Structure 1
Amino acid sequence: MLIGLMVFALAFILYVVIKAFRDIGFTVFETLVLLLGSIVAFRFIPDIPIYWYENTILSINVAGFLIPVIISAKMIKSGRAPFMECLVGVAVVAVIAYQLSEFIAGKGVLISNIYLPSFVAAIIGVVLSKKVWNRVGPISYVSGSMGILVGADVVRLNEILAYQSPTLTVLSIGGAGIFDAIFIAGIIAVTLGILTMPLARMTEGQR
């Protein structure tokens, strides 16, 4: 009986979450990949090496790079996240992420504050959705996840590759230091998008 109630409760929570995400433009598949697939991939799927220079191996993280890139590309291609709006959002968040991030030898790239770019991404989603409310989530997600990835990791590639490690070192794009920021930024951006949608609609209704 208790197990049955727990299963029902979990199923209900998952249904509510999926419905909330779908209301702001996410498909069921994207929601499951974002919430569950990313965590599973980060824990169990190894990084993919793409470049080897002296003692440094540059790789990409499936959860912190491939998944957000694929989901973002899918949203842009489908038109749910318009390209120009996303370009603006990614650029703004990337500048903020760059200012808040730092490459530390032996640790990788660390972001001091993931909340500011997440909040900005959510606001960007609301403003640039142009009252098409199911675009809030996709624009917020693309702006937040891609902005952090570009500003904190991609822009710093020269700095990362210039690091001369005395021993064999694996550096990962979207790895541990950035995955947390990208994952949490995406979740926070979408959550804020969900919370701000009723406020935006209410404000519009009062005009």
Structure 2
Amino acid sequence: MFLEPLTIVSIVVLIVALILYVLIRAFKSVGFTAPETLVLLVGAIIAYAIIPDVPLYAKGNVVLCFNVAGCLIPLTISARVIRDGRAPLIECIIGIAVVTVLAYHLSAFISDKGVVIYNIYYPSLAAAFIGILLSGKKWGRVGPISYVSSSLGILIGCDLLRLNEVLALQPARLIYASIGGAGVFDAIFVAGIIAVALDIIAMALARMTGGQR
């Protein structure tokens, strides 16, 4: 007996809703609100798929743009959690500095490919560790500190510190270089999620053993 299409759609919607509910609860446990979680997990992907890069500056045949999903969203979420005090500024600066150094040394600018990142796991692990270490034993700060450290650290280390290399290009045809786009978006998205996921696991283990609150 085959299920009706409407039944299948209903089951899929229910499963997706349950998954999102679990993820929202998990992200809330380490300091994120439900809207922030939806933006990080769903909104960023949708924005990357449908919103084109926004031009900022042109030099010769190089047009510098920024990507909404890979640049504006991380900046907005980071500014929000820093402003609210969930991610203290000094701790974030330390985390961003560490991840920036890692991201810069783990990436390279290749003229025909853009910025290539060779390993996104080290920045993710570093950000998760920094979040736990600098949270002041408050789990509500762990996720935001880790996210700010990973997303902005990668954005700065992989893109902003390599702008001179991008603008030094003298291509024969018009090219577009995007801050937070292409491979950097993937790295920011994945590293941010991995860092927060590791924090959630660490929080669960700590609570099981009566550790950090």
Distance across 1 between alignment mates of 2:140 and 2:111:
42
Match of 2:105 among 91, 99, 102: 99
What value does the CA root-mean-square deviation take over the aligned residues? 1.4
Match of 1:153 among 150, 159, 180: 159
TM-aligned CA deviation for residue 203 of structure 1: 5.5
Pairing 1:189-200 to 2, within 5 Å after superposition: 189-200=195-206
Name the residue aligned to 2:137.
Answer: 131
Match of 2:114 among 95, 108, 111: 108
2:73 is the counterpart of 1:67: yes
Residue ranges of structure 1 left out of the alignment (5+ in a row) = none
Distance across 1 between alignment mates of 2:185 and 2:79:
18
Cα distance change of structure 1 residues 2 and 177 upon mapping to structure 2, 3 Å threshold: closer
TM-aligned CA deviation for residue 7 of structure 1: 2.5
Pairing 1:34-49 to 2, within 5 Å after superposition: 34-49=40-55
Code of the aligned partner of 2:148:
V
2:86 is the counterpart of 1:80: yes
Distance across 2 between alignment mates of 1:119 and 1:161:
31
TM-aligned CA deviation for residue 9 of structure 1: 2.1
- The number of residue pairs the alignment matches comes to 206
Aligned residue for 1:156, secondary structure, equals: helix
Distance across 1 between alignment mates of 2:8 and 2:208:
41
Distance across 2 between alignment mates of 1:5 and 1:153:
41
Name the residue aligned to 1:6.
Answer: 12
Distance across 2 between alignment mates of 1:126 and 1:109:
29
Report the TM-score, using the length of structure 2 for normalisation.
0.93
Cα distance change of structure 1 residues 205 and 47 upon mapping to structure 2, 3 Å threshold: closer
Identical columns (%): 60
Name the residue aligned to 2:180.
Answer: 174
Residue ranges of structure 2 left out of the alignment (5+ in a row) = 1-6
TM-aligned CA deviation for residue 159 of structure 1: 1.4
Which digits, 9 at most, give the CA deviation of each residue in 1:176-206, with x for residues without a partner? Answer: 0200000000110110110111233455649
Name the residue aligned to 1:19.
Answer: 25
Distance across 2 between alignment mates of 1:139 and 1:167:
41
Aligned residue for 2:136, secondary structure, equals: coil
Distance across 1 between alignment mates of 2:168 and 2:159:
14
Distance across 2 between alignment mates of 1:4 and 1:159:
50
